[in-house]
Amino acid sequence: MSYIERMAEDWVYSQSDDLLIGSKFDPLLVIEVIIESSPSWGWSIIARIIELDVHGLSLPVLIAGPLESWIARYARDWIEFLEGEAKENDKFRWALGGLRQRKIDDETWGRIEIARGASWSNDEIIGIVPKNPK
């Protein structure tokens, strides 16, 4: 099993269990360090988590944490990649709907808004994965 695979599995496991969130077994800080030091490794872990978590239990925390950190830090340089990914991957496009602009520059944010389509509404049930993700 690769390091990326192990990190993704640990994330889904720990963020799907309320007793593990924030514990010494919570991989959040490790993933944040990886994102800060390596955009490609960080992206690989995020993409694998999105793929692995078929029930969506860990995705709200991923979207508000590591995905938002990665997007804020790298989206300007990787925007064409993200647009392509959103076009090809329904689950990722859905995940982009949970992002908020925060530290993302206006031009990049505009392109993300176009790529993702609808954002999550305030009354949407967080953690529900789209019915037919690719």
Q: 21-56, pLDDT tens digit by residue?
A: 565 666 677 788 888 999 999 999 999 999 988 877
Q: What is the pTM of this model?
A: 0.78
pLDDT value of residue 18: 64
Evaluate whether residue 89 is within a structural domain. yes
Evaluate whether residue 130 is within a structural domain. no
pLDDT value of residue 19: 59
Evaluate whether residue 50 is within a structural domain. yes
Evaluate whether residue 72 is within a structural domain. yes
Evaluate whether residue 94 is within a structural domain. yes
Evaluate whether residue 121 is within a structural domain. no
How many domains in the chain?
Answer: 1
- The 3-class SS string of 62-129 reads HHHHHHHHHHHHHHHHHHHHHHHHHHHCHHHHHHHCCCCCCCCCHHHHHHHHHHHCCCCCCCCCCCCC
Evaluate whether residue 78 is within a structural domain. yes
Q: Which two tokens mark 19?
A: 């007793």
pLDDT value of residue 125: 44
- Domain extent for 49: 3-116
Q: What is the pLDDT of residues 70-129, one digit of tens each?
A: 999 999 999 999 999 999 999 999 999 999 898 899 999 999 999 998 887 755 544 444
Evaluate whether residue 63 is within a structural domain. yes
